[in-house]
Amino acid sequence: MASTTNGSSFEGLILSKLFTFRVGNQQQEFTVHSGAVAAVSSQLNALINNGMLESQTGSADLSDIEPVDFVRFVEYTYRNDYTSPSWVLEDKVADVEAGKSEKGKVLRPSHMSIRARNAASQVQPPQTMLRRQQQHFGSPTLPPVTLESRLMDRIYLSDAEPNVCMQKGFKHQPNTAPEQNFAPVFLAHARLYTFACKRFIDPLKRLALHKLRGNLLDFTPFHRRLVDVVELVRYAYDHCENRKNDGTVDELRMLVTEYVGCQISLFKNDKDFVQLLEEGREFAVDLVRVIGEDKLR
């Protein structure tokens, strides 16, 4: 639970005073143990315990988060983890462009999830491996660092964090059909990330990035589902900090941009993606830079 990293006991959390948050535009009330929330955020700790009106009344408004996301945040304060939502099943419709369902077709490498494509590339025919060993005998070489390999190797959580063991044993539920809408999954992680940024909860921010990265790596980019990623990109560029003067890009923006860069052969002909580029956001520049750097390696 989150308290173990802040020197508080579970008993202390349970015995702490109750505090009511009025959440979202509808002001839905949630009453939680103040110690659990205060332990993970210095900003919320000040709100609860600084002696001002909120701490005296034992209640405060949180309009910058929706109830469904606040529930995940509260879960995090107790468990150092939160439950990811499931994809939403849409009605089956005919694929207008292909004239048939994408489900059941043998996917080309460019249409595989990044993790599946990476795993397939590691399996080589014995003769191919033998020729390479003969060509490079005595001079072993490391595989080139690519945009895809950087995304595969990126680490957001350190081994010292209490939730790392749980995350190592967790397997993301991938999509297996074009009717499975993954936008709710992607956006849940993204919204918790932006909430954590505003409230200076760095461990939650990194956990959200870790979970989102896992979902993206396992995401099968069916043509009908590219819009799910477009929605994620649009959210990141609507709600995250703009590029800094030194060129530093927000971590969520960088993650989604690198993912699109890895799958650009699919996105370049998608109408929703083209519309996103035409909106004139910083995303277009960030994407060009990411792809350009990858080509120069």
Distance, CA of 182 to CA of 85 (rounded, Å): 9
Q: Using 50, 70 and 90 to split pLDDT, how confident is the model at 48?
A: very high
**Residue tagged 């025919």 (tokens):** 125
Q: Using 50, 70 and 90 to split pLDDT, how confident is the model at 288?
A: very high
Mean pLDDT value of segment 259-270: 95
DSSP-derived secondary structure letter, 200: T
Distance, CA of 204 to CA of 73 (rounded, Å): 9
pTM of the shown model:
0.86
Domain regions of the chain by residue span: 2-79, 91-137+144-296
For the chain, the average pLDDT equals: 86
Which distant-in-sequence residues (6+ apart) come within 8 Å of 34 by Cβ?
Answer: 16, 17, 18, 19, 48, 49, 58
Angle among Cα 261, 251, 162 to the nearest 5 degrees reads 120
Q: Using 50, 70 and 90 to split pLDDT, how confident is the model at 125?
A: low
Superfamily of domain 2-79 in the CATH hierarchy: Potassium Channel Kv1.1; Chain A (3.30.710.10)
Amino acid (one-letter) located at 180: Q
**Residue tagged 């989150």 (tokens):** 2
pLDDT exceeds 60 at position 209: yes
pLDDT exceeds 90 at position 287: yes
**Residue tagged 């143990």 (tokens):** 33
Distance, CA of 236 to CA of 253 (rounded, Å): 6
